[in-house]
Structure formats: C-alpha cells, structure tokens
Amino acid sequence: MTDVAIVGVGCTKMDEHWTKSLRDLSTEAGALAVKDAGLDGKDIQALYVGNMSSGRFIGQEHLAALAADQAGLIPIPATRCEAACASGSLAFRKACLAIKSGEYDIIMAAGGEKMTDIKGPEAIAALMGAADQEWESAIGLTFTGLYALMARAYMNTYGLTRDELSQVPIKNHFHGLKNPLAQFRFEVTAEQVARSAMIADPLRLLDCSPITDGAAAVILVSDRVADRFKNPIWVKGSGQASGTLALHDRPSLTEIPATQIAAKRAYDQAGVGPQDIEVAEVHDCFSIEEILAYEDLGFAPKGKGKDLLLNKDTWIGGRLPVNTDGGLKLGHPVGATGIKQLIEIVRQLRGDAYNQVKDPRIGLTHNIGGTGATALVHILGKER
C-alpha cells in the first residue's frame, strides 16, 4: 500500500485577527506550506479543508471552493471536512486516504476558523452546534458546562484536586512561552489558576481554551514522489472513531471510548504502542481533557493521569513531553487545530520546533470533536 509523508507545513499566528479575514489567513497558511515544501502551487492535485462553522462565524459557506480560488488552485478538486473541533484532523485523514487510493501524489490538507467576528455569546452558541442541540444546547448547557460535569465526576471518582488540575495550564503556558505563534505567551501559577474567574464549577477561566482566529496547512505526498523532498515525515498510523453526541448517553463521564478506539487503530496500523510515543499533542480544550487523554491514549492507567504531570513526565525534559507548543490552551481556531497539532509534531521530528524535544523519532496527535463524539489519532515517524 502507498505510504504517505508530510513535506511542508505552514501556520499563521493564533490570535484575534481584526485586520485579516478567513480567506487572508487560509491563503497565508497555504503559501507558507507550499514554500516550506519547495513546491509551486501548480503541483497541488487536490485540497481538503477542515472547518467547523464558517457559516455561523462569518456567513461564508462553500469554503473549500473559496480556498481553492484564493490560493490559485482552480480547477483541482477541493473538499470541506467538518467534525467540530476535529475538522482539521479529518481533512488530514481524508487527504491521506486519497493518496493511499493511488489517485493523487501531492495534496494540501488545511484548516481554518475565524471566530472573533461575532460576539462571545454568539461564538459560544455556534460552538454548541458540536453538541446535542436538542438535549444539551437548547437547555442552556455550554461546552464548559459539559466538561465541568466530566471534571467533577473525575474528581469525585479518582480524588483529583484543584491544584493537581491546575498543573495542565501551568505546563502548557510554560511550553507556549517559546512559541511565537501562540495566542498567549505568559506563565501562570496554581494560585492564579485557582483565582481566575469561575466559568462552570470546577472549571475556571485559565482551564479553558480561548476563542481564536487562525489557519494551518500541510503538504502530503505519496512514496512515489517523496524522494524529491528533503526530510519527509511519514504518516505511520491514522485512526478515527465515533461516540455518542450527547454526554448523558455515555456509560462513563471519566473516559472517552472514541479516543481509545481511534488510538488502538492508529497504534496497530503503525506497529507501535503507547510506550513508543516520544512527543504528543493532545486535545486540551479544557484542563480535564488533557488528563483524560493521557489515560485514553494508554499513557497512564485509569485515575493515574495526574501522576504524569506531578512527576513532570509530560513537561519538556520529561519522558513524554505533551503539548510542547502550548496546546489548545494557547490557541484553538477549531477548524485549524488538528492541522496545527500535526505541524508541531512534524517540526519536532524534523528538529526545528520552537520548543524542541531531544531527538524524537515517533510522535502522536489526538484531536476530538465535541465532548468526544469524534476522535482522531495520528502517529508520525521520522522514518518510513
């Protein structure tokens, strides 16, 4: 079967971009990826774009055609992929499968979101389209509220404390200090996290990812042409799974089965296990989700995810650095997030990350939509 490699990456700054439109951001990210690959845009044979809700955020649908038009890629086929906050990862997976089918050799997978052109309450309502509208959104629940239910259940079941939960944003803010593309670049303390505004008990403001504008893009190629490019990073495994849309239909609030299934598929495909991962980007839309991800991905036994934080295992310098770019906590343009995560792992494996881990060979990305109704896990390797 055809192997797939990533040969170019490009990402805008994660920010509130008041002077740039979604088309501006998408074009910028795409141009950076093409330049990084050493390609001409005319070499791109297909385009997959991850985007959650451009219709509600900026009133623009038919986004893939717009992206192809603005990037000068007409008449190649362009497809929009939507899976809530996992839209970018889904676009990447579809691009991988298209290359594996044998139809294409060079594809761009991109993601973008412009979230700040509407007011905060409207943005929150748009994001709740990723939950169960009838049973969750319509009765006033928000994603902070849903993840707060998960956090409280986990605390009650496994004894997680407020200070232990605070280690997630403390770590990720520290990692993000060296990332010039991060939306926020400052350290936080446990006291600052505990004193930040309560959003939905027990989650406070500094437990939450921000509203962000941004775009990201990668260039994927088949093994038939990979030798034309320097330092290709290989896609070793790709897994996707689904779970219930509504949180109340889950058998447990302290795990996400879709992540477990997607991870197993990716591990099996790559021929590796959790113990082989040397650097990872996991979905930390809220602090509790990073701890759940540790356990669902097999990095820690159930109820022991906090130990990875307390022992500094997931910090730079630890045995498994996680969210070395600051994670979603330092920027979460939902349609672009999955691609942004992949770019960080590519840079880590190439050795040119802003916050470089020492000589990693295998990395992982984990991206979910909603509260885990969609989960995608990708494993990248330095070697084919």
pLDDT for 124: 86
Q: Containing domain of residue 50, as a range?
A: 4-119+211-228
User: Is there a contact between 110 and 337 (Cβ–Cβ < 8 Å)?
Assistant: no
Identified catalytic residue from 11, 85, 96, 285: 85
How far is residue 341's CA from residue 365's CA, in Å, rounded to a whole number?
6
CA atoms within 13 A on the CB side of 124: 16
Q: Which two tokens stand for residue 314?
A: 């997931």
CB-count burial class (<10 Å; 0-12, 13-18, 19+) for 41: middle
Q: Can 208 be counted among the known catalytic residues?
A: no
pLDDT for 42: 87
Residue 186 falls inside a structural domain: no
Instruction: Give the CATH number for residue 76.
Output: 3.40.47.10
| Phi, psi at 156, each rounded to 5° | -70, -35
* 263 has pLDDT over 90: yes
Q: Which of 95, 56, 375 is nearest to 235 (CA)?
A: 95
pLDDT for 145: 97
Residue 120: band (very low, low, confident or very high) from pLDDT cuts 50, 70, 90:
confident
Residue 350 falls inside a structural domain: no
Residue 59 falls inside a structural domain: yes
For the chain, the average pLDDT equals: 96
Q: Can 332 be counted among the known catalytic residues?
A: yes
Residue 336 falls inside a structural domain: no
Residue 63 falls inside a structural domain: yes
Q: What is the mean predicted confidence (pLDDT) over 267-291? A: 98
Q: pLDDT tens across 310-347, in order? A: 999 999 999 999 999 999 999 999 999 999 999 999 99
In 3-state terms, what secondary structure has residue 145?
Answer: helix
Return the higher-pLDDT residue of 125 and 246.
Answer: 246
Instruction: Give the chain's length.
Output: 384
Residue 353 falls inside a structural domain: no
What percentage of the chain has pLDDT greater than the value 90?
96
Q: pLDDT tens across 130-149, in order? A: 999 999 999 999 999 999 99
Residue 224 falls inside a structural domain: yes
Residue 118: band (very low, low, confident or very high) from pLDDT cuts 50, 70, 90:
confident
Q: pLDDT tens across 33-84, in order? A: 999 999 988 899 999 999 999 999 999 999 999 999 999 999 999 999 999 9
Peptide bond into 333 cis (omega under 30): no
* 169 has pLDDT over 80: yes
pLDDT for 121: 86
Q: Which two tokens stand for residue 16?
A: 């509130």
Residue 24 falls inside a structural domain: yes
How many domains is the chain partitioned into structurally?
1
User: Is there a contact between 215 and 26 (Cβ–Cβ < 8 Å)?
Assistant: yes
Q: Where do the H-state alpha helices sit in 51-86?
A: 54-58, 63-70
Residue 1: band (very low, low, confident or very high) from pLDDT cuts 50, 70, 90:
confident
How far is residue 368's CA from residue 239's CA, in Å, rounded to a whole number?
12
Q: What is the mean predicted confidence (pLDDT) over 92-99? A: 98
pLDDT for 199: 97
